[in-house]
Every structure is written in structure tokens, then in C-alpha cells.
Structure 1
Amino acid sequence: MEPFLVERAGGVVTLTLNRPERYNAVTAEMWPDLLSILREVAASDDDRVLVVTGAGDAFCSGADMASIAGGERAAPPLTVMRRVGEAALALIRLPKPTIARVNGVAAGAGANLALACDLVIASERARFSQIFAKRGLSIDFGGSWLLPRLVGMHKAKEMVLLADMFSADDAAAMGLVNKVVPHDELDEAVADWAGRLAAGPPLALSLSKQLLNDSLTSSVDQALDAEAAAQAYNFSTGDVREAMKAYFEKRPPEFPGR
């Protein structure tokens, strides 16, 4: 069974972690494959949105502890963790909008895989945990950078040091999740947002994502200069010309992405 499934339709790429019998836990060998898929999506003009999800009843339970306990040594631990970091950075920096479709448990690196996406839509059955401490591990897959920015430092420390499990509603109340929906409405909700993003102006969306990601480490002066440069570039594109034409013709725009 392939550990990842990749499906494409209408500009939307759906990346499914495909180890349902292990709650989609990730082995050491899977990180380079994930990085390769993310780089492929980043380089494709046809791929406009990435949806990340898990097969079966789970999103991703994190690292495959069974394979680690069984003596798996694909590479030295530091090498493996650098590959984890490369995959996390590739997802966070992906120049396309990303949606996490959280259909079940998202724990450890699996929780941070979801949080590294731009938008998170969760089933009412979803659960989230920074479970690392219960496995004798410290936080990874970018969680030390993501969590304080999403929930504040004290809440981030509570989540990481106590390693409790949170419901989807609790996660939404903390600002970790954009939307919680009934389980049987999850696909519809994800398809709606993914379709809207795929129909949007890809260059402008990519630039807006970068501006927002950079804002937390930028001064207001730097942010305004970056906005000006991005907007000047947008005005030179066919996307803006198409938007103006569609406005006057009273129809939805069809952005060419160039």
C-alpha cells in the first residue's frame, strides 16, 4: 500500500496519508517522500490548492512509535529530524493555499502537520494533542514556532508540557481550527473552500500568504514596503487585467495565473 495518495482535480491537489491501520503514523522513510510531493506541488502551475488529510478514521497520529520501538534505523536520528524539519518548512512556505482536512485524531507531528496548513477544517470527531511528552519526546514539525503564534506562549506551554487531548471545539475556541463541521459534512466544507481558492488569483494569494507569514518577524515599515512591492507586481499581471475586465463585464473572473 502506498503511504501517500495524491489526487488532482480542478486545480486542487489532495494529499492523503494512507496508513489507516496505523492511524496514518509517519515512518522515518516517509519524510523524504512527503518533501518530494510538496516540492512537486510548489513547482506546478496547474496545482493551485493543496488539501492534506488522512485515510480512514484518523488524520495523523504522528511518528510511528511501533517502527521506532522495533529498531527502525533508516538514518541517524539527527538526519531523520532534519528531514522532518525540511518537510515542515516546505509545507509552511508552500506558495499555494493549503487546507488541512482533519477527519480524526491529529497528534504530535500529525497535529503540527495540520497546523502548518493555512486553513484547518475539522470534523466534530477530530481530536488534537501535542502528545510528545507522553512519548519522552520534545515538540517537532514546527510546533515550537507555530503554537505560540496561534495560541500565545502560556497556552502553548500548557499544550506541550501537559500533552492533553483537545476536542475539535476546544481547538476552534483556541484559534487552532477555522471551522468545525459535522463529520458527514466535512467533504462538502473542504470542497467549498478548496474550490473557492482554486478559482482565486494564484499570484495574489501566494503573495498575501507570504506577507502574512513574514509579518510576525517584520517591522511595520518592512511590512508596508513588502506590500508595496507585491502590489506593484500584481498590477503587472494578467490576473489583474482579467479581474478588471470581468468586473466591467459583470461576470466571475477566470484568473490565468500569470
Structure 2
Amino acid sequence: MSSILFEIKDSIAFIALNRPEKYNAFNREMALLLQEKLEECKAPSIRCVYITGAGKAFCSGQDLDEVVDPKGPKVVNIVSDHYNPIISKIRYLEKPVMAAVNGVAAGAGANLAIGCDIVVAKRSASFIQAFSKIGLVPDTGGTFFLPRLVGLQKAFALTMLGDKLSADEAEKMGMIYKTLPDETFNEDSIAIATTLSQLPTKALALTKKALNQSFISSFEEQLHAEEVLQQRASATKDFKEGVQAFLEKRNPNFTGE
């Protein structure tokens, strides 16, 4: 069975990490296959990407059996060849990427989640920066995103102490968008993805670009970026449709163009 489940339905690409017997821990095969599927998500027909885990976990991080295997990849290569490309593909994909955290998200799994554009989690899910427990440094973009989401003090504490956070705590801390009831998690999270898939895709992509750029821009540079990106957004068919729908007092029918 494939370590990544992939399905396109109603303009949404559904990706499930699929090593449930290992709590969806990453090995080389799964990491490279996820990269491949994220590349496929560049197709214009896909307007939203939804990432979750099969079984009880979202992702428990790196499969350590692979790390200690003399024939396996070295840790530095796991970071450079597996995780860095994955998180880069997510950040530069020109459409919303949503993480639906259905269980524990630990180590690289936690940082894969918070590197997505919108993160929702089951109320029973949890997040753990587990790296210090085995003498490693947070990777998969964790040292970039975590302090920007929760502040430097909390980022230091979470990464050094390796505290386990409940989904509710993660939401209150600003690490994730929101928690959802376990009983209705699938339908509630897919409803958010459906909404995203029906919005003006190019405008969302430009918004994502602006927010990505804001991490490294000065105030003046960001104002200029908004000006340039707004010009591009106003040239789309969806902008014209949005304005026309507003004037006609009807719901817009965005096509992602």
C-alpha cells in the first residue's frame, strides 16, 4: 500500500500520510512521494490542498528505525533532501494548503502542520516539539514558523523542554487556526477546504505571497509589495466577477482565473 494516499475531488487535493502502523512517521519513501504529490498540486484544476494522517496520528515525525539503519540516509540528508523541499513546496505553492491534524503531531510532523497556511486540529490532538528529547534541533521550518506564531519565549520553551500541547492550548497560543470537535472533525475540516476551493484562487495565491514576503520585508517594502500584488489581483477574472456580484447583490461564482 502506498505511504501517501492522494485523491482529487471537487477541486481539492486530499493528501493523507499513510503509515498508520508507525503513526505516519516519515521515511524516505513517504517524504519523496509527498514531494511528488505536492508537485502535482500545481495543476490549475486544484484549488486547495488538504493534508491529514491515516489512522490515529497526523505524523509522529521521523522514523528513527531509518536513522539508525547503517544503509539509511544520514540525518543531514534527511533534512536537506526530505523536509526542506517539502516545506518549501508548501510555502511556495500558489494555492491554500490546509493541515487537518487528526491526532498527535510530533517533531517534523508538528512543523509540517504549522508550516501550512491554515491548521485545524481535533480537540483530542496534540503537538510536540520532540527534537530535544533525542538531542536534535527543530527542523522542517520549525525554527522559522514557531517563534513567529507564538513568540520567542514560548518557542524557546516548547523546543527546549519538549512540552506536549493539547490542541486547545495550541489554538490559544496562536499556533493553529482552531480546534474542531472529534465527532465532526472530518466534515468540519473538509467544509473549510471546500470554502477555500471556491474562493478566488489567484487572489489567495497573491495573499500568500504577500504574507510570505512580510517575514523579511521592511514596512516600506511591504507597502510596495501590496501595491504590485494588488495590481495583479485586479487584473483577474475573479476580481471582475466579485465586483459584479457585489453590485448585483448575488453570490459570486469564482473560477480561479
**TM exceeds 0.5?**
yes
Distance in 1 of aligned mates of 2:211 and 2:113 = 18
After TM superposition, the structure 1 = structure 2 runs for residues 1-258 of structure 1, keeping only pairs within 5 Å, are: 1-41=1-41, 43-73=42-72, 75-83=73-81, 84-258=83-257
Is the 1:4–1:17 Cα contact (8 Å) retained in structure 2? Answer: yes
Off by >4 Å, runs of 4+ in structure 1: none
Deviation (angstroms), 1:138: 1.3
Distance in 2 of aligned mates of 1:21 and 1:183 = 21
Unmatched tracts of structure 1, length 5 or more:
none
Deviation (angstroms), 1:70: 3.9
Q: Which amino acid aligns with 1:216?
A: F
Deviation (angstroms), 1:160: 0.6
Q: Which amino acid aligns with 1:114?
A: A
Distance in 2 of aligned mates of 1:64 and 1:166 = 21
Deviation (angstroms), 1:11: 1.0
Distance in 2 of aligned mates of 1:207 and 1:172 = 26
Deviation (angstroms), 1:244: 2.2
Is the 2:47–2:256 Cα contact (8 Å) retained in structure 1? Answer: no
Deviation (angstroms), 1:25: 0.3
Distance in 2 of aligned mates of 1:248 and 1:95 = 29
Is the 2:67–2:75 Cα contact (8 Å) retained in structure 1? Answer: no
Residues 127-176 of structure 1, C-alpha deviations (whole Å, 9 max, x = no match): 10000111222111010101110111111010111112111111111111
Deviation (angstroms), 1:120: 1.0
CA separation of 1:224 and 1:211: change in aligned 2, threshold 3 A = same
Distance in 1 of aligned mates of 2:9 and 2:195 = 13
Deviation (angstroms), 1:72: 4.5
Unmatched tracts of structure 2, length 5 or more:
none
Residues 56-94 of structure 1, C-alpha deviations (whole Å, 9 max, x = no match): 000000000123234451x44433321221111111222
Distance in 2 of aligned mates of 1:132 and 1:28 = 19
Distance in 2 of aligned mates of 1:66 and 1:10 = 38
Is the 2:110–2:128 Cα contact (8 Å) retained in structure 1? Answer: yes
Residues 77-122 of structure 1, C-alpha deviations (whole Å, 9 max, x = no match): 4333212211111112221111111110000000001101111111
Is the 1:121–1:186 Cα contact (8 Å) retained in structure 2? Answer: no
In the superposition, the TM-score normalised over structure 1's length comes to 0.95
Deviation (angstroms), 1:30: 2.4
Distance in 1 of aligned mates of 2:69 and 2:75 = 15
Is the 2:199–2:256 Cα contact (8 Å) retained in structure 1? Answer: no
Q: Which amino acid aligns with 1:91?
A: I
